[in-house]
Amino acid sequence: MPPVPPATSVPLTDHVESLLDSGSPLPIVAAGDPVLRRPAEPFDGQLSGDLLARLVEAMRATMHAAPGVGLAAPQIGVPLRLAVLEDAAAVPDEVRLARGRVPLAFRVLVNPSYEAAGGRVAAFFEGCLSVPGYQAVTARHERVRLRGLDERGRVLDEEVAGWPARIVQHETDHLDGTLYLDRAEPRSLTTTQAAAARWADPTPERAARELRFTLPGTD
C-alpha cells in the first residue's frame, strides 16, 4: 500500500492524488503502521474542494467495500482529521433495542471531537477494519456531544446516542492515534468467526461470564 509521506517528502496533495489514482476501493492500513498511532493533522484547507470531495467519495466506497460503518482518513494512510460514517443498521429488533443500533445516514466529520454527555457507559463487542479478524468488548459512552465541521465547513454541535455514538467515538479515536483495542477488555478478545459462532447475543453478558471478565457497572 502507498506509504504515508513524511512531512518533508511528498506534499500531501500529491500523496492524495496518487492514492486516488490507484483505484477504488483504497487499501486499508493495518495495525502496526505508525500512521494509526500519530494524532492526525487538523484539516485546514490542505486539499482543494474538488480533491476533498474525491477523497470523501473514495473513503465512502472503501468503507462500503470493506464492509464497515465508519472509516477515518489515517486508515487509508492520509494523516488528516477526516472520517466518514454510515450504518444501515440492518439488524434484528432485539439487537437494535439492546444496542441502540439505529440507521445512521452518510455523513462526513471534519476535525471532530467528542465528550461524554452523561455518565452512562455501554459495553459491546466491537471490531475495526484496521484490526481485521478480531473483536473485543469495548466500553463506550452511551451518549456523547459531538463537535466539529462537515465537509462543507458547517458547524456540528449535537448529541449522539446508542450505536451511532459508538461509531463517532471509534472513528474520532482513530484521529487521535487510538485503536479500540486500547479501550477493550483483553479477556474478551475473540476472532470474528468465534464471535459470530459463540457470542452473537445482543449483549455480552454471557461472554463475560464464560470468558471471566467484568462488564462496566456490574462489579
DSSP, res 35: G
**Would you please indicate which residues are annotated as catalytic (active-site) residues?**
171
Q: What are phi and psi of 214, to 5 degrees?
A: -105, 130
pLDDT band at 9 (very low <50, low <70, confident <90, very high): low
CA 90 to mean position of chain CA atoms? 18
> What's the rounded mean pLDDT across residues 83-87?
98
Predicted confidence at residue 218, as pLDDT, reads 60
**Residue 209: strand, helix, or coil:** helix
Q: Which grid cell is 110?
A: 471534519
Predicted confidence at residue 184, as pLDDT, reads 98
Closest to 128 in 3D by CA, of 61, 183, 198: 183
Q: Which residues contact 170 (CB under 8 A, 6 or more apart)?
A: 70, 126, 128, 140, 180
Percent of the chain with pLDDT over 90: 92
Q: What are phi and psi of 201, to 5 degrees?
A: -65, 155
Which regions of 97-154 does DSSP assign to beta strands (E)?
A: 104-116, 121-127, 134-141, 143-149
Closest to 172 in 3D by CA, of 146, 154, 141, 138: 146
Say if residue 114's pLDDT is above 50: yes
pLDDT band at 3 (very low <50, low <70, confident <90, very high): very low
- The stretches of the chain forming alpha helices (DSSP H) are 12-21, 49-65, 93-99, 162-175, 192-198, 205-211
163-205 confidence digits (pLDDT tens): 999 999 999 999 999 999 999 999 999 999 999 999 999 999 9
Predicted confidence at residue 93, as pLDDT, reads 96
Please tell me the distance from the alpha carbon of residue 160 to that of residue 166, in angstroms, as a whole number. 9
Please tell me the distance from the alpha carbon of residue 107 to that of residue 86, in angstroms, as a whole number. 7
> What's the rounded mean pLDDT across residues 120-143?
97
Question: What's the mean per-residue pLDDT of the chain?
Answer: 94
End-to-end CA distance of the chain: 44
Q: What are phi and psi of 154, to 5 degrees?
A: -80, 140
Say if residue 7's pLDDT is above 60: no
- Please provide the size of the chain in residues: 219
> What's the rounded mean pLDDT across residues 34-41?
98
Q: What's the pTM?
A: 0.94
Say if residue 27's pLDDT is above 80: yes
Q: What are phi and psi of 68, to 5 degrees?
A: -150, 180
Say if residue 158's pLDDT is above 70: yes
pLDDT band at 210 (very low <50, low <70, confident <90, very high): very high
Predicted confidence at residue 8, as pLDDT, reads 43
